[in-house]
Chains A and B, each alone.
Chain A
Amino acid sequence: MTDNKTSKEQKYDRQLRLWGDHGQETLENAHVCLINATATGTEILKNLVLPGIGVFTLVDGHKVSGEDVGNNFFLTSSSIGKNRAQAATELLQELNSDVSGNFVEESPDKLLDNSPEFFHRFSLVIGVQLPESTYLRLGSVLWEAGVPFLICRTYGLIGYMRLIVKEHTVVESHPDNALEDLRLDQPFTELKHHVESYDLDNMEKKDHSHTPWIIVVAKYLEKWYSEHNSQLPKNYKEKEAFRKLIREGILTNENGTPEDEENFEEAIKNVNTALNPTKVPSATEDIFNAEQCENITSQSPSFWVIAHGVRDFVRNEGNGKLPVRGTIPDMIADSDKFIKLQNVYRDKAMKDAAVVSKHVEALLQSVGKPPESTSEQEIKLFCKNAAFLRVVRCRSLAEEYSADTFNKDEITSCMDSTDSEMVLYLMLRSVDRFYQQHSRYPGVYNYQVEEDINKLKLCVNSLLQEYSLNVNVKDDYIHEFCRYGAAEPHTVAAFLGGSAAQEAIKIITHQFVPFNNTFLYNAMSQTSATFQL
């Protein structure tokens, strides 16, 4: 068992550095359904099997064709004629013995006819190269069941992804440039006492230059307050003056030249961010005000239960502030002083989290759930990330397709520039319309390309008309899409396979923020865009 754990740690070392062991654990507990083992499909699955998802189920009613073998690494000529789900599963399994793979030799339409609840069991369903009618049906089943759905499509030199998830909560969004949570503007009692235990004016030189910069800033802030009506330095000028005040505190030698005190330099450098007023970020505020946070029931996911607990904390014990994060940056200081300071923050964070726990417990009790339904660890992680919480809500496919609710503004404003990636979206909708009418995609047979161009043009026009879109789709795109003949070139599939698996991992681990909700890639120009449709 421990052996297995160590070998996994070794195998997954490079990715544990991105999402941690708890992210890995969620990944290993996930069950992903992938529909259609085309080149794009198997590339996505490959990129999920390698990092070690728990289980996958491949759904595919097709038989392996010669064309499949030509662009799909996980199908060989010996598998021609076999069921595609089975053939691909065999080879994909070889990639990672820790992953278990299942296959269902049936088309998604059949499954939807016979037992739509088949799809309820998955952590995520990825539909690849599906006809419009199928993904619309499947989309509504999964929307009702609350199962996230990722549609992926390689169409010639175009890549397309659409994420459909009613509500996706992210505790660890891993923001870039997160500010530290130091509370220097509103120090908590323990921090105040700790700062008081320092007396910069009566200190050995060595101790003076090994005092953490946080203490230095706190000390000079007191001094500043006494001279400035207890107001923080706000604008640039005041901050400069404050920096000067700190600089004056640097010890000088016999000759009056300042000593080299790196901790003071650090303090000066950090003034700007350290004095950032402590407040609840608006995204977190929105979460507190959300209906899901307001009305906790026994069915509420733990994210909302804890969010409510944190909100109670902010509105009561926290006096309008989030629980203390409890971490401080590395700084110049001796170990002893650093650890003491670190412990002040850490202890306060633990105390705050414990108060949140009490609120959560009471809340759970009030809706008749046992207190152990959320773990201590979960609450701590939540408190630590309280400033970075995110909720992603995608629009449903029904909303995107309905003439009443489609996002007309986004489409028209993007189409002001005729080469916006939005035109690719309109073209994909048009080829779907073509398929609906002709039961095949345009340009799949070389001899029909010319006449298909006219037919596709009609589809484009009828689409624009139906949605009353007054936009210009250049003929070039219509020709281009006919020329694609719905082919699935491997290198585009490989690109999309990487991108889609990346989003799938975000959804599964609830770490990092997934795109919302449509992604388009143009392999010719190597450009991409995301739209909210």
Chain B
Amino acid sequence: MHLRVGLRKELADSLSSCRVLVVGAGGIGCELLKNLVLTGFKNIEVIDLDTIDVSNLNRQFLFQKKHVGKSKAQVAKESVLRFCPSANITAYHDSIMNPDYNVEFFRNFQLVMNALDNRAARNHVNRMCLAADIPLIESGTAGYLGQVTVIKKGQTECYECQPKPTQKTFPGCTIRNTPSEPIHCIVWAKYLFNQLFGEEDADQEVSPDTADPEVAWNPADAAARATASNKDGDIKRVSTKEWARSTGYDPVKLFNKLFKDDIMYLLTMDKLWKKRKAPLPLDWTEIHQLGEEAFGTGLKDQQVLGVQGYAQLFHRSVETLRSQLIEKGEGAELVWDKDDPPAMDFVTAAANLRMNVFSMNMKSRFDVKSMAGNIIPAIATTNAVIAGLIVLEALKTLNSDFDQCRTIFLNKQPNPRKKLLVPCALDPPNPNCYVCASKPEVTVKLNVHKTIVQALQDKILKEKFGMVAPDVQIEDGKGTILISSEEGETEANNNKFLSDFGIRNGSRLQADDFLQDYTLLVNLIHSEELEKDVEFEVVGDAPDKAPAPSVPEEGKNIANGNKDSAQPSTSSKAAEDDDVLIVDSDEEPSSSTMEASPESSNRKRKHHDADTDATASKRKRLDQQPADDDEDIIALD
């Protein structure tokens, strides 16, 4: 009765028999479930691995305070059924990347709709839908901006047709030895949290890195370092956690080790400080002899305290976390979560103290939280708009009207051409796409003597090319298996170099992901001349660069979900909800200009580039205007 309008009768009837999958039950997901049910969809499955957090309640309207901590998918289902008992909804509290959800599973549906917050899952669902040949609607929001697009195998671009830059991570030595921006200190503080209270991770070392390539090794320096590090006698280079435990997590001892002794040790690596301003160690007793004032006004969260204030906060939060750890019992670990006050206090304090040591301007808790949690602002209104658009695209898709389908960008306010929405015709698939081309192929430049098999698997195949469980064989005529997705089969290879297997310039690898039904041919180019801290390069990939200055900054924003952005997230909980690919464009590209003009396709590529710069520009934005205009934190730098 309610949607006879605009729909042909056959389509309206088909809705009740059609099965759809909603991936994600967050901000967009909640709105979408409601819209689907009220549009006449009857058979809906929804999957989300996340649980409900208080900060979801300002927009995820299917959840209430009493649901905090429960499964999003499950509660969403129950809430929808309360209002619309006739719907047939199946909920999964699980990751869509779990192998149970194979191509067969995807084939159960006529349509898949993403309401995701991270690129890894988006890549994966994209591949599953291509493999199963099921149309996919992709969407995302960030603050006031939003986007919806339709992906259909062979007819439109897939999610990965336009190369996206690898996620920006920071070199270990920047984090450990030579931070130059607040974000480096914040990442360090998050690592420190895990090293002290959480799961230790060898990639998250926080102590000075003596293997820094900038520090030429010289025995005389080494002796000086040894003295410095052992000055206290009991400070040996044991694991940070072990050491902290041995002191009973004494906040003052921790403080002096992290902000005094370790810094003095860094000072002995004098090569590092020839061109940089050297760090200034802090001493617990000394700083308490200084009088100081607090900066900033307004909410407590938005104040910037002085060194003494952060030292006190450090002290308090270490004590709280220590007792939490004791309460949990032997061998327990804490998980960092930006919405957990003591954990956030700890990171705020430790990051600011380190910023002070390295002569940076300190940040308020509010700002640190934005950066540490990769927080993208989120409101009900944008999600409502986007979810409304998704269903309209869904109806056209089910009707196979792909010509009528659009990519739609939602602007913050009507643009100079008075358009709030900017619809664009869908682009045809990129013939060189390394995902949806008929025989996908890529060329990777790396150093075969320095790259180990593990790095090939984790950093190249999984992180860069989005595979979940790759099998790799060398096309050497013998079909040597380099990596097997079966546990234990090829683990012995992990720490060997590629050259150990006869891999050299021009070698070809065949990488298969059985789950994704995806095969990628990898051509290797050996190079000794990669830039410092660069392990590999994909040849022909868009350079990870900000756009030319002629492109107005405001128009070209993209966020790709906060878990995608800049720094590695140490939070094991899903960081945030509903965000993708955002373009806030003033121009209104028509299908013809999109296809024909190299300039506009160039611009489009730039959109994609923007997302890794989120954190860097956020820093600048937040500093200018404390809390009120970071909806454009995704602006380009």
Among B616-637, those with CB < 8 Å from A are: 619-620, 623-632, 635
Interchain CB contact under 8 A, B359 and A495: no
B312 at the A interface (CB under 8 A): no
Complex interface: stretch among B17-25, B51-59, B460-468, B510-518: B51-59
Q: Report the minimal beta-carbon distance from A489 to chain B, rounded to whole angstroms.
A: 5
What separation, in Å, do the CA atoms of A511 and B392 have in the docked complex?
31
Q: A10-B54, A527-B421 are in contact. Are A485 and B625 (CB under 8 A)?
A: no
Q: Which chain B residue lies CB-closest to A96?
A: B57
What separation, in Å, do the CA atoms of A172 and B625 have in the docked complex?
11
Interchain CB contact under 8 A, B59 and A530: no
Q: Which chain A residue lies CB-closest to B59?
A: A50
Interchain CB contact under 8 A, B420 and A499: yes
Candidates B377, B384, B414, B620; contact of A17 at CB < 8 Å: B377
Candidates B386, B388, B420; contact of A530 at CB < 8 Å: B420
Q: Which chain A residue lies CB-closest to B407?
A: A526
What separation, in Å, do the CA atoms of A11 and B380 have in the docked complex?
13
Q: Which residues of A contact B6 (CB under 8 A)?
A: 156-157, 483-484, 489, 523-524
Interface string of B12-39 (1 = CB under 8 A from A): 0000000000000000000100110011
- How many chain B residues touch the partner (CB < 8 A)? 82
Among A145-170, those with CB < 8 Å from B are: 156-157
Candidates A43, A177, A180, A487; contact of B553 at CB < 8 Å: A177
Interchain CB contact under 8 A, B64 and A15: no
A283 at the B interface (CB under 8 A): no
Q: A329-B623, A499-B385 are in contact. Are A489 and B377 (CB under 8 A)?
A: no
Q: Report the minimal beta-carbon distance from A532 to chain B, rounded to whole angstroms.
A: 9
Interchain CB contact under 8 A, A14 and B419: no
B121 at the A interface (CB under 8 A): no
Q: Which residues of B contact A113 (CB under 8 A)?
A: none
A135 at the B interface (CB under 8 A): no
Among B362-396, those with CB < 8 Å from A are: 369-370, 375-389, 391-393
Q: Report the minimal beta-carbon distance from A212 to chain B, rounded to whole angstroms.
A: 11
Q: Which chain A residue lies CB-closest to B295?
A: A339
Q: Report the minimal beta-carbon distance from B146 to chain A, rounded to whole angstroms.
A: 9
Q: Which residues of A contact B620 (CB under 8 A)?
A: 329-330
Interchain CB contact under 8 A, A490 and B38: yes
Interchain CB contact under 8 A, B299 and A21: yes
Q: Which chain B residue lies CB-closest to A17?
A: B377
B400 at the A interface (CB under 8 A): no
Q: Which residues of B contact A72 (CB under 8 A)?
A: 38
B162 at the A interface (CB under 8 A): no
B476 at the A interface (CB under 8 A): no
Q: Which chain A residue lies CB-closest to B421?
A: A528
Q: A489-B3, A502-B381 are in contact. Are A526 and B54 (CB under 8 A)?
A: no
Q: Which residues of A contact B375 (CB under 8 A)?
A: 13-14, 17
Q: Which chain A residue lies CB-closest to B82?
A: A76
Interchain CB contact under 8 A, A330 and B619: yes
Q: A259-B275, A334-B359, A526-B392 are in contact. Are A18 and B5 (CB under 8 A)?
A: no
Interchain CB contact under 8 A, B630 and A50: no
Among B592-637, those with CB < 8 Å from A are: 619-620, 623-632, 635
A131 at the B interface (CB under 8 A): no
- How many chain A residues touch the partner (CB < 8 A)? 90
A130 at the B interface (CB under 8 A): no
What separation, in Å, do the CA atoms of A524 and B7 have in the docked complex?
10
Complex interface: stretch among A54-62, A120-128, A513-521: A513-521
Candidates A50, A67, A209; contact of B380 at CB < 8 Å: A50
Q: Which residues of B contact A425 (CB under 8 A)?
A: none
Residue of A18, A72, A206, A521 contacting most chain B CB atoms (<10 Å): A18
Q: Which residues of A contact B423 (CB under 8 A)?
A: 525-527
Q: Which chain B residue lies CB-closest to A260?
A: B275
What separation, in Å, do the CA atoms of A477 and B54 have in the docked complex?
47
What separation, in Å, do the CA atoms of A97 and B59 have in the docked complex?
14
Candidates A17, A73, A327, A335; contact of B627 at CB < 8 Å: A17
Interchain CB contact under 8 A, B384 and A495: yes
Interface string of B267-285 (1 = CB under 8 A from A): 0000000010100000000
Interchain CB contact under 8 A, B380 and A335: no
What separation, in Å, do the CA atoms of A156 and B4 have in the docked complex?
9
What separation, in Å, do the CA atoms of A339 and B623 have in the docked complex?
13
A268 at the B interface (CB under 8 A): no
Q: Which residues of B contact A116 (CB under 8 A)?
A: none
Among A295-326, those with CB < 8 Å from B are: none
Q: Which residues of B contact A13 (CB under 8 A)?
A: 55, 58, 339, 369, 375
Q: Report the minimal beta-carbon distance from B160 to chain A, rounded to whole angstroms.
A: 24
What separation, in Å, do the CA atoms of A384 and B204 have in the docked complex?
42
Interchain CB contact under 8 A, B627 and A16: yes
Interface string of A463-499 (1 = CB under 8 A from B): 0000000000000000000011101111111111111
Candidates A50, A94, A502, A511; contact of B58 at CB < 8 Å: A50
Interchain CB contact under 8 A, B58 and A17: no
Interchain CB contact under 8 A, B632 and A176: yes
Q: Which residues of B contact A505 (CB under 8 A)?
A: 381
Interchain CB contact under 8 A, A21 and B418: no
Q: A50-B58, A70-B1, A491-B35 are in contact. Are A523 and B630 (CB under 8 A)?
A: no
What separation, in Å, do the CA atoms of A76 and B361 have in the docked complex?
55
Q: Report the minimal beta-carbon distance from B553 to chain A, rounded to whole angstroms.
A: 6
Q: Which residues of A contact B38 (CB under 8 A)?
A: 39, 70-73, 490-491
Q: Which residues of A contact B302 (CB under 8 A)?
A: 21
B478 at the A interface (CB under 8 A): no
B170 at the A interface (CB under 8 A): no
B101 at the A interface (CB under 8 A): no
Q: A17-B375, A18-B379, A527-B423 are in contact. Are A67 and B1 (CB under 8 A)?
A: yes
Interchain CB contact under 8 A, B5 and A11: no
Q: Report the minimal beta-carbon distance from A77 to chain B, rounded to whole angstroms.
A: 8
What separation, in Å, do the CA atoms of A483 and B9 have in the docked complex?
13
A264 at the B interface (CB under 8 A): no
Interchain CB contact under 8 A, B379 and A177: no
B65 at the A interface (CB under 8 A): yes
What separation, in Å, do the CA atoms of A528 and B412 have in the docked complex?
13
- Give 7 A-B contacts (CB < 8 Å), ordered by A residue: A13-B339, A14-B377, A17-B370, A174-B631, A329-B624, A499-B420, A523-B392
| A-B residue pairs, 5 tightest by C-beta | A498-B384, A495-B388, A498-B385, A490-B38, A176-B554
Further contacts, 16 of them, CB under 8 A, given A335-B359, A487-B2, A494-B391: A11-B57, A15-B377, A17-B375, A51-B58, A51-B59, A51-B379, A67-B1, A91-B83, A487-B5, A491-B35, A495-B385, A495-B392, A498-B384, A519-B414, A526-B389, A526-B392
